[in-house]
Chain A
């Protein structure tokens, strides 16, 4: 098979190792480098057989329609909210993602955010670097060990978060679409009830129509002025304006956010708050994990074009 003739569309810059490996095997077309996208897609519509996207841009209905020879969408992410799954299914297009390889990193980031928000390590690091320690001590912060942690979504990453949090002696509660009887953690049938019974609420479910704005005013109020929200899911899980006003008004105790509704834009009202930590969607952003994710994308494409079963299809 002369695979260098197989056109693979990459939607945006995501990883140079991935680009290099794709170029070795396929004819790589970089969508972000062209000025007129529709013209470009029209010109290459018969040679593009695969699409490689990520959590910013992947394969919406419009893109799928523009590529009649598209056979596979391989996402450089575990989330697939930027893929029109129904349309893909309709056209018999295979869809893969990168589960498992990034589970540890994202779970680590959840714990990192909890510690940074409660113990204010980012703030006290700034305090030291600005020379303020010479003039006085930093404030007292909040203990993490033993706090009640509520997890929304007990999938791979949610379970990995729970495992880590247990080592800090935290009682764990969770919400998911259905109760998991084999799980020892306490199940709550509503997010509001979970929030009311948690000190720290972690969002780590997939983004779907049902979970859009799953964190709304009611949930934020239930979490309360001493509660902390950690979002390592998707920006759209949270009603962002409600979150911002709750934080600014002190109705919510704090927040650790790796995702936002309109990345890379972040509400600037949050910049002056010392009870929030704001990260640029780096949940899986380590050298090791991005390499593993890239290798998994490549491997899925290879097996597809060898007509073998996909390794990590979206189920």
Chain B
């Protein structure tokens, strides 16, 4: 399932939009900043860091839209301080940094960027699974350190044919499954409810899923229910030969439990793109050869970041022209 990239129309004809104030929460994409600036009056929250509340007092009434991301979205405090906020357009598919209840209460529209990033995130999941199983970064470093001259690299573990368990079979989970199938991996999954149109084996309990797969991939949305969905019990079920891949949110995993399991050898390995306190992460992991750590790069390709930015812009343009939102959340 893929979405055509949405072409962005210049809004030279619509000068009304240039008076609309859009708050951008943090630096996320220079291209997006530039495109927003040609259309709207952009206020960059990170340039007013001296006193968030002072800034809000002076500008809050003008702001009609917020563009946020996975780092900083629109929480209750922000929404309450922007009385004329009409739309939140997130530069992400994840909505965990947006207070959706508050938006609903106030009739604020919310959009995100589904589909355009599905492929990149699914590619990352497979990439991490391969990188951990086959020890690719470690062996690349082995060569660069000049160690190959002194002896062969050790053996890694095969990826093809390993059983893959996916937590969350949404767009991304399904895209991961499709790729893993090409490696002859039997697929099973856990989600809130069984999905009707799939042959993959369903587990209503995530511990059972973990006990019955060799590679567990977290690809569900972060909600109150899924916070720490990967806990000690799940890690123990996955076991000393199991591999955890987290491309969801850091808060999906009980991080201290994960770290001790890896250090003690109770978990076979991990490939992580997300952490509980980004950009901080447990430094005890740095010395481990059975982990691969990447800095939340799931959708950070030139192609996808542009497509995401274009989608944010298109949603805002549609909204302020009174047209249908392209990718509304609610």
Contacts and interface: CB of A to CB of B under 8 A. Distances in A.
A116 interface: yes
B159 A108 contact: yes
Interface stretch (B41-49, B289-297, B317-325): B289-297
A24 interface: no
B134 A141 contact: no
A236 B281 CA distance: 42
A116 B126 CA distance: 11
A115 B120 CA distance: 10
A144 B148 CA distance: 29
B156 A285 contact: yes
Contacts of A168: 119, 123, 179
A266 interface: yes
B134 A125 contact: no
Contacts, number: 163
Interface centre among B143, B286, B292, B293 (most CB of A within 10 A): B143
Given A112-B127, A145-B119, A277-B136, A286 B158 contact: yes
B300 A141 contact: yes
Contact of A126 (B123, B137, B143, B161): B137
Nearest to B161: A104
A101 B175 CA distance: 28
A287 interface: yes
A290 B155 CA distance: 8
Given A134-B280, A169-B119, A285-B155, A264 B300 contact: no
Contacts of A145: 119-120, 122-123
A124 B302 CA distance: 16
B298 to A, nearest CB: 10
B184 A167 contact: no
A143 B152 CA distance: 32
A119 B182 contact: no
Interface string B126-168: 1110110110110111111000110011011111110000000
A280 B179 contact: no
B18 interface: no
Nearest to B300: A140
Interface centre among B2, B120, B300 (most CB of A within 10 A): B300
Task: Give the interface size bracket for B toward A.
Answer: 35 or more
Contacts of B155: 285-287, 290
A91 B156 CA distance: 39
Nearest to A271: B144
A109 B134 contact: yes
Contacts of B303: 142-143
Interface string A86-109: 000000000000000000110111
Contacts of A146: 119
A57 interface: no
B188 interface: no
A146 B149 CA distance: 37
Contacts of A266: 143, 148
A110 to B, nearest CB: 10
A125 B294 CA distance: 5
A108 B137 contact: no
A137 B299 CA distance: 13
Contacts of B293: 125, 128-129
B231 interface: no
A282 interface: yes
Given A126-B137, A134-B279, A143-B303, A167 B131 contact: no
14 contacts: A104-B183, A111-B126, A128-B293, A140-B302, A145-B123, A164-B179, A166-B182, A264-B149, A278-B144, A279-B139, A279-B143, A282-B139, A287-B158, A288-B158
Interface of A: 104-105, 107-109, 111-113, 115-116, 119, 121-122, 124-129, 133-134, 137-138, 140-146, 163-164, 166-169, 263-266, 271, 277-280, 282, 285-290
10 nearest A-B pairs in the assembled complex, by CB-CB distance: A167-B182, A145-B119, A104-B160, A115-B127, A112-B130, A264-B148, A133-B279, A143-B301, A286-B158, A278-B143
